[in-house]
Amino acid sequence: MKPIKLLSGFMTVGFWTLASRVLGFVREILIAAYIGPGPLLDAFVAAFRLPNLFRRFFAEGAFNAAFVPMFAKRLEADDGAQAFAQDAFNLLAVAVLGLVGVGMVFMPVLVWATAGGFVGDARFDLAVGFGRIVFPYILCMSLAALFSGVLNATGRFAAAAAAPVLLNIFTCSAMIAGAVLGQEVVTWLVWTIPVAGIAQLLLVWHAAARAGIRLRPGKPRMSPQMRQLVRIAVPAALAMGVTQVNLVVGQLAASNFENAVSWLFIADRLYQLPLGVVGIAVGIVLLPDLSRRLRAGDDLGARDALSRAGEFSLLLTVPSAVAFVVIPLPLVSVLYERGATGPQDVAAIALAVAIYGVGLPAFVLQKVLQPLYFAREDTRSPFRYALVAMAVNAALALGLQPLLGWVSPAVAATVAGWAMVVLLWRGTGRMGEAASMDDRFRRRSLRIVLASVIMGAALYFGATMLAPVLSMDYWRYAALLGLVVSGGAVYFAVGQMVGALRLSEFRSTLRRRQT
């Protein structure tokens, strides 16, 4: 995959992920307005986090890391790729069906284990009830992840990246309908999630069939290839799911404080925008490309792909992190302060956003570095690093609670994120030239930081000048838009001047996509 085509893949996935995240913003805005921080939202967050947690283990984590390289190898060699995918589909379906059955029966135990602070109040029973409705969502998402892996391995990124948009379309429509009809909005939201999961699965299933990979439910068999897949997938699942595990540990700590689960959830969703657009796009596109290059012995090409992925990540992530640290209050206030979400909630959410912002580059760099291991079918090293990062997160989230209170999970997640990056980076030392960044990356990364710092200063002074307008009804939206646009203009102008980026490269990519 040539550099322009690689960047085009990033932009394809990034575009659809951006669409999903923007609609996700709309979803979170509606949740904050119609439900708001409190027992109902705390219970919903705890319930919905359960299928998302296990999705990382059975879906994206295991299959992006283990399934994609193994399937891509067979696809290129014309060595039974269809049969391999069919066996993986059958095995995954049976495993997740069993998990769903166990989860439905032992839902009170799952809620107790992930939100122990709910025990003894209304949030516990609410979370158990919501959990039994949304937990089957994991089956649809796990199978959808397999089909997405098939599509990504064949170079078809659009359908897999577009599927998550359906969840946000369905949930936003359901909440608006519930509000218009004067019914309990959270009930509409909860019941819509499994329906949206079915729609997402059908979309990628159909797209895979059009790509020539037609899979049907069947009896699973544990072939040598499936045993190898499981051996690779088990440690990869934890390594890729470390962020979700850390969120659950944070939730466990936050559940002891009123409204804290809701505050951290909303803050997490805000910083997920750049994390999703950049990190997920890089991870999805980079892994198949690195796998192909390393199998072909193209170390120089692998190094170039890795460096351009790192460069692209920092280009968009560092300025986003600076903005979250410099102007969190205007961002949160304009986006969420309405309806059931008041000024006290906004101040708390803004504090968490600033802390998460410090860790944003780390969360994205993990997506860049992990494919170096997975492309070599090495999932044990990231597994060990993930265990260290999880220990750091748990120790800080629980240990800092007496000192920092409800905000300790955000601090812990940020520190653990950077610890994971350091471990991954040090581990690449034995991989040779293919795992090192080139001189262009080193030059541009420093210039990206410089341009971002100058942008941050411009945002700070702009927010100070616009403070009265940012508190006005209606006008605050235009003021925030102007602030963000002007900050972006400063960043790209300075970046072009100091050599942090070249707009001509983006124009070349866009022309390539149109041809």
Which positions ≥6 away from 302 have C-beta within 8 Å? Answer: 290, 293, 294, 434, 435
End-to-end CA distance of the chain: 16
Average pLDDT over residues 422-442: 77
Average pLDDT over residues 170-189: 94
315 inside domain: yes
- The position carrying tokens 């690449």 is 428
For residue range 150-169, list pLDDT tens digits in order.
887 777 767 777 788 899 99
483 inside domain: yes
**Which is it for the CA torsion 420, 425, 431, 433, positive or negative?**
positive
72 inside domain: yes
Average pLDDT over residues 345-361: 93
| Per-residue pLDDT at 250 exceeds 90 | no
| Per-residue pLDDT at 510 exceeds 60 | no
Rounded to an integer, what distance in angstroms lies between the CA atom of residue 268 and that of residue 324? 12
Average pLDDT over residues 102-108: 94
| Per-residue pLDDT at 512 exceeds 50 | no
Rounded to an integer, what distance in angstroms lies between the CA atom of residue 112 and that of residue 116? 5
| Per-residue pLDDT at 61 exceeds 90 | no
Least confident window among 99-113, 172-186, 236-250, 394-408: 236-250
| Per-residue pLDDT at 172 exceeds 50 | yes
Looking at residue 515, its pLDDT comes to: 45
| Per-residue pLDDT at 273 exceeds 80 | no
Predicted model pTM: 0.75
| Number of other residues whose CB lies within 10 A of the CB of residue 426 | 10
Q: Which of 51 and 505 is assigned the larger pLDDT? A: 51
Rounded to an integer, what distance in angstroms lies between the CA atom of residue 480 and that of residue 466? 9
In terms of domains, do 350 and 329 share one? yes
Q: Which of 414, 437, 460 is the last residue of a domain?
A: 437
Report the chain's C-alpha Rg in angstroms. Answer: 22
For residue range 9-22, list pLDDT tens digits in order.
555 656 766 777 78
Average pLDDT, the chain: 83
Q: Which of 437, 472, 499 is the last residue of a domain?
A: 437
| Per-residue pLDDT at 401 exceeds 70 | yes
442 inside domain: no
In terms of domains, do 257 and 225 share one? yes
> Count of residues for the chain?
515
In terms of domains, do 411 and 431 share one? yes
What are the helix (H) ranges across 275-407?
281-295, 299-326, 328-336, 343-374, 380-399, 401-404
Average pLDDT over residues 293-297: 67
CB 373 within 8 A of CB 379: yes
CB 134 within 8 A of CB 191: no
Average pLDDT over residues 165-176: 93
Which of 242, 232, 234 lies closest to 386 in space, CA to CA?
242
Least confident window among 93-97, 175-179, 304-308, 393-397: 304-308
Looking at residue 60, its pLDDT comes to: 58
Looking at residue 239, its pLDDT comes to: 59
Looking at residue 295, its pLDDT comes to: 65
Looking at residue 152, its pLDDT comes to: 74
In terms of domains, do 407 and 507 share one? no
| Per-residue pLDDT at 1 exceeds 70 | no
Least confident window among 107-116, 162-171, 202-211, 222-231: 222-231
For residue range 27-46, list pLDDT tens digits in order.
989 999 999 999 999 999 99
| Per-residue pLDDT at 125 exceeds 90 | yes
In terms of domains, do 118 and 211 share one? yes
Average pLDDT over residues 329-358: 91
In terms of domains, do 460 and 433 share one? no
443 inside domain: no
For residue range 67-82, list pLDDT tens digits in order.
777 777 777 777 778 8
201 inside domain: yes
In terms of domains, do 424 and 468 share one? no
Total structural domains in the chain? Answer: 2
In terms of domains, do 283 and 329 share one? yes
Which domain range does residue 225 map to?
Answer: 3-437
DSSP string of 422-453?
A: HHHHHHGGGS-GGGS--HHHHHHHHHHHHHHH
SS (H, E, C) 161-227: HHHHHHHHHHHHHHHHHHHHCCCCHHHHHHHHHHHHHHHHHHHHHHHHHHCCCCCCCCCCCCCHHHH
| Per-residue pLDDT at 509 exceeds 60 | no
In terms of domains, do 370 and 453 share one? no
**Residue 399 pLDDT grade (very low, low, confident, very high; cuts 50, 70, 90):** very high
**Residue 288 pLDDT grade (very low, low, confident, very high; cuts 50, 70, 90):** low
Looking at residue 282, its pLDDT comes to: 63
Q: How far is CA 150 from CA 184, 230, 342, in A?
A: 39, 17, 45
In terms of domains, do 401 and 460 share one? no
218 inside domain: yes
**Residue 386 pLDDT grade (very low, low, confident, very high; cuts 50, 70, 90):** confident
208 inside domain: yes
In terms of domains, do 388 and 247 share one? yes
| Per-residue pLDDT at 283 exceeds 60 | no
Looking at residue 514, its pLDDT comes to: 44
Which of 11, 146, 151, 155 lies closest to 67 in space, CA to CA?
146
pLDDT over 70, % of the chain: 84
Q: Which of 437, 459, 484 is the last residue of a domain?
A: 437
Looking at residue 8, its pLDDT comes to: 55
Looking at residue 397, its pLDDT comes to: 92
**Residue 197 pLDDT grade (very low, low, confident, very high; cuts 50, 70, 90):** very high
Looking at residue 349, its pLDDT comes to: 93
In terms of domains, do 429 and 478 share one? no
| Per-residue pLDDT at 287 exceeds 80 | no
pLDDT over 90, % of the chain: 34
Average pLDDT over residues 249-269: 88
Average pLDDT over residues 410-427: 91
Rounded to an integer, what distance in angstroms lies between the CA atom of residue 118 and that of residue 105? 19
